[in-house]
């Protein structure tokens, strides 16, 4: 079966994949992030979490509100939204200052206090890998990825990105990806500022291999620059500060080689900026970096290099994405088979 699948992937390279609508989600109004796993669909909007069954798409539970209690969350207006991820039969919810654990049906288990403005993901041996910030030579702060101990103390920096943050930082679009994901006894990190590069670390933070591909740089067109400017003018959270943002708005000459990365079921799924309309290239690799195929999948409303978290997920060889039906004013779940 594996040999047959490998041969078939050669036939689907760069073929557009349209997928199918599999559900309408009338309870969802403004989704921010999502994940799929263990037969469940998890969606966050603001400080609210929806859980659906993937079998019949019935809503299992909706919970969460603003606050600091066991089922309450803090979200900064200009910070990271709630990040949801299912691991080993547990739902993790990353919010400002804590990582909360729930059953797949939304029953509270416990919470872990963490530093603010960071996303912590548990790995083996009680450790964590997390996004954070670190000061450069000129004291400018940059987003980074680090390895943390069981008391959420930084043990080792794995990667420092070229994305600056803080009051003196410019907004340089498109951002270089620094997606990260644990997989078994390894941690995969996109080294976006170096091109198509994914470094693989062991649980002590030692780099064990590098996955690298040659790519042709894709120029940033004027239409992209205009879309970012228009977005800042229209977005409810940014438009009131547009005059400030436009003085800090800068653009790179070319798109980064990697837009995003998801690792699932021993496959690395790499999203790039190559697209036709709203359908973007998705490169499928094994864990050693050998290419297994390429398809195009829909990413609607993409702007700002995922400045707002994407509302898509991959589970068991399927790509899931939320798409708004503007005529009916309802959010739909679409699915694309990747195998």
Read off the pLDDT of residues 245-294 as tens digits, 9 standing for 90 and up: 889 999 999 999 999 999 999 999 999 999 988 899 999 999 999 999 99
Residue 214, pLDDT > 60, answer yes
Residue 237 lies in a domain: yes
Tally of CB atoms within 10 A around 240 = 9
Question: In the structure, what pLDDT confidence band is assigned to residue 305 with cuts at 50, 70 and 90?
Answer: very low
Number of structural domains the chain divides into:
1
pLDDT band for position 146 (50/70/90)? very high
Quick one: three-class SS letters along the chain? CHHHHHHHHCCCCCEECCCEEEEEECCCCCCCEEEEECCEEEEEECCEEEEEECCCCCEEEEECEECCCCCEECCCCCCCCCEEEEECCEEEEEECCEEEEECCCCCEEEEEECCCCCCEEECHHHCEEEEEEEECCCCCEEEEEEEECCCCCEEEEEEEEEEEECCCCCEEECCCCCCEEEECCEEEEECHHHCCEEEEEECCCCEEEEEECCCCCCECCHHHHHHHHHHHHHCCCCHHHHHHHHHHEEECCECCCCCEEEEECCEEEEEEEEEECCEEEEEEEECCCCEEEEEEEECCCCCCCCCCCCCEEEECCEEEEEEEECCCCEEEEEEEECC
Question: In 3D, which of 163, 166, 180, 168 has the Cα closest to residue 304?
Answer: 163
- Residue 187 belongs to a domain: yes
- pTM value is 0.91
Domain range for 281:
119-308
pLDDT at 303: 55
Does the residue 201 lie in any domain? yes
Confidence at 232, pLDDT banded by 50, 70, 90: confident
**Using 50, 70 and 90 to split pLDDT, how confident is the model at 165?**
confident
Residue 81 lies in a domain: no
Is 95 a member of any domain? no
Residue 303 is assigned to a structural domain of this protein: yes
Say if 166 falls within a structural domain: yes
């Amino acid at each position: 079966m594996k040999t047959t699948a490998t041969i078939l992937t050669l036939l689907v390279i760069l073929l557009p994949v349209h997928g199918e609508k599999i559900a309408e989600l009338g309870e969802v109004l403004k989704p921010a992030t999502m994940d799929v796993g263990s037969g469940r669909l998890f969606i966050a909007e603001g400080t609210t979490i929806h859980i659906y069954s993937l079998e019949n798409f019935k809503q299992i539970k909706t919970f969460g509100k603003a606050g600091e209690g066991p089922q309450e969350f803090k979200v900064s207006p200009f910070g990271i939204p709630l990040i949801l991820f299912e691991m080993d039969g547990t739902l993790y919810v990353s919010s400002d200052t804590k990582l909360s654990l729930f059953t797949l049906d939304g029953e509270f288990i416990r919470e872990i206090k963490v530093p603010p403005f960071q996303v912590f993901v548990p790995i083996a041996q009680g450790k964590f890998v997390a996004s954070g910030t670190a000061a450069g030579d000129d004291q400018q702060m940059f987003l980074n990825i680090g390895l943390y101990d069981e008391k959420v103390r930084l043990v080792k920096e794995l990667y420092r990105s070229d994305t600056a943050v803080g009051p003196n930082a410019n907004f340089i679009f498109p951002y270089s990806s620094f997606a990260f994901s644990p997989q078994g006894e390894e941690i995969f990190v996109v080294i976006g500022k170096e091109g198509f590069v994914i470094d693989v670390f062991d649980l002590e933070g030692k780099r064990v291999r590098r996955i690298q591909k040659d790519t042709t740089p894709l120029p940033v067109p004027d239409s992209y620059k205009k879309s970012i400017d228009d977005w800042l003018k229209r977005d409810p959270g940014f438009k009131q500060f547009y005059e400030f943002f436009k003085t800090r708005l800068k653009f790179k000459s070319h798109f980064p080689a990697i837009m995003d990365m998801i690792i699932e079921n021993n496959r690395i799924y790499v999203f790039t900026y190559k697209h036709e309309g709203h359908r973007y290239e998705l490169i499928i690799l094994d864990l050693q970096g050998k290419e297994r195929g390429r398809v195009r999948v829909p990413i609607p409303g993409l702007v700002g290099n995922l400045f707002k978290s994407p509302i898509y997920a991959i589970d068991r060889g399927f790509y899931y994405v939320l798409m708004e039906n503007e005529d009916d004013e309802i959010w739909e779940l679409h699915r694309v088979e990747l195998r």
